[in-house]
């Protein structure tokens, strides 16, 4: 069974409009938390799926650039580790 994890990661954020340099200093990237099963992880990409079945197939797969990841925590029944 693939490990169940929560991944905290930074994503790009588009801010439409016109800004001064001072305004831009307050802008930040978006931080997301994604829950699922860890399919794979290498130097470039972490692959997370929301579902898996007994035939080894995965559904709703997210590919997250490894460099954007803040943390990966394994989920344990009843708690975070």
In the prediction, which pLDDT does 40 show? 97
Give yes or no for residue 81 having a pLDDT over 80. no
In the prediction, which pLDDT does 79 show? 62
Residues 6+ apart with CB under 8 A from 38: 2, 3, 4, 5, 46, 47, 48, 72
Q: What CATH number is given for 4-13+28-80 in this structure? A: 2.30.30
Query: Tokens for 11?
Result: 């994503």
Q: How confident is the model at residue 70 (pLDDT cuts 50, 70, 90)?
A: very high
């Amino acid at each position: 069974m693939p490990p169940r994890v929560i991944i905290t990661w930074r994503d790009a954020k588009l801010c439409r409009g016109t800004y001064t340099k001072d305004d831009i200093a307050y802008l930040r990237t978006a931080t997301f938390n994604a829950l699922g099963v860890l399919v794979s992880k290498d130097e470039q990409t972490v692959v997370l799926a929301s579902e898996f079945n007994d035939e080894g197939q995965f559904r709703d797969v997210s590919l997250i650039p490894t460099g954007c990841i803040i943390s990966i925590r394994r989920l344990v029944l009843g708690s975070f580790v």
